[in-house]
A and B are shown apart, each in its own frame.
Chain A
Amino acid sequence: DIQMTQSPSSLSASVGDRVTITCQASQDISNYLNWYQQKPGKAPKLLIYDASNLETGVPSRFSGSGSETEFTFTITSLQPEDIGTYYCQQYNDLPWTFGQGTKVEIK
């Protein structure tokens, strides 16, 4: 199975801060990488697909980049409603696998 390693596992930042999460794949996954947001008690929500494409309706402060094994997810200006856990997910190879998650909190 392809292992997805996210860092950090948690972070605390102030409103307005720039937040960056990285995701490393154990092998080349091209750009078959998605990012999801999960708020407490809710279902995951797709934010970024194919490494850098913003899902319809998602605010432009969210962005993604990268390819092959190294990927980055960025929130340019953290908002209070952005608290939750963020997951990367590869679909280059079955079984599709997720990173362990990054919990984002407001300082």
Chain B
Amino acid sequence: EVQLVESGGGLVQPGGSLRLSCAASGFTFSNFAMSWVRQAPGRGLEWVSVMSGSATNTYYRESVKGRFTISRDNSKSTLYLQMKSLRAEDTAVYYCAKSLDIVVASAMSPWGQGTLVTVSS
């Protein structure tokens, strides 16, 4: 069974940093692109970033470029999201999600349970 378990969320002050992790199991991790998607409280879904299976291709939404860094350790089947210079508008539940296919551009399934990041003083 494919499982994704996020961790690392918490309360952080504006301007602070946080690193999220997503531990994967049940599939050959290096064969699939992985994404981060966030959801602000009471709001809709917002795609954040995606990384190819080999880590050669990465993409970000404009509002997080230069502040967030996606990475992966295929030997540990783990995806990361390093977040710095955090802002109040980054407050959200962050989900990691597996690409349905080997290519970066595909549907996302399944998703992890999410980890809450709260940016507040």
A-side residues, CB < 8 A to B, are: 32, 34, 36, 38, 42-46, 49-50, 55, 87, 89, 91, 94-101
**Residue of B62, B100, B109 most packed against chain A (CB within 10 A):** B109
B59 surroundings in chain A (CB, below 8 A): 94-95
Contact status A45-B111, CB under 8 Å: yes
Q: Could you tell me the distance between the alpha carbons of A106 and B36 in the complex, rounded to whole angstroms? A: 31
Q: Is B95 an interface residue (CB 8 A)?
A: yes
Q: Could you tell me the distance between the alpha carbons of A99 and B50 in the complex, rounded to whole angstroms? A: 19
With contacts A43-B95, A44-B95 taken as known, whether A49 is within 8 angstroms of B106 at the C-beta atoms is yes
Contact status B110-A45, CB under 8 Å: yes
Contact status A98-B110, CB under 8 Å: no
With contacts A89-B45, A98-B44, A100-B44 taken as known, whether A46 is within 8 angstroms of B107 at the C-beta atoms is yes
**Residue of A36, A50, A101 most packed against chain B (CB within 10 A):** A36
Contact status A44-B107, CB under 8 Å: no
Q: Could you tell me the distance between the alpha carbons of A44 and B98 in the complex, rounded to whole angstroms? A: 12
- CB contacts between A and B, total, < 8 Å: 57
Contact status B105-A43, CB under 8 Å: no
A44 surroundings in chain B (CB, below 8 A): 37, 45, 95, 111
Taken residue by residue from 96 to 121, chain B's Cβ proximity to chain A (1 for < 8 Å, 0 otherwise) reads as 00001000011111111110000000
Contact status A49-B107, CB under 8 Å: yes
Q: Could you tell me the distance between the alpha carbons of A91 and B99 in the complex, rounded to whole angstroms? A: 11
A101 surroundings in chain B (CB, below 8 A): 44-45
Contact status A46-B44, CB under 8 Å: no
Report the minimal beta-carbon distance from B7 to chain A, rounded to whole angstroms.
14
Report the minimal beta-carbon distance from A7 to chain B, rounded to whole angstroms.
14
Contact status B107-A34, CB under 8 Å: yes
Contact for B47 among A38, A42, A50, A96, CB less than 8 A: A96
Residue of A nearest to B98 (CB): A46
A46 surroundings in chain B (CB, below 8 A): 100, 107-110
Residue of A nearest to B6 (CB): A43
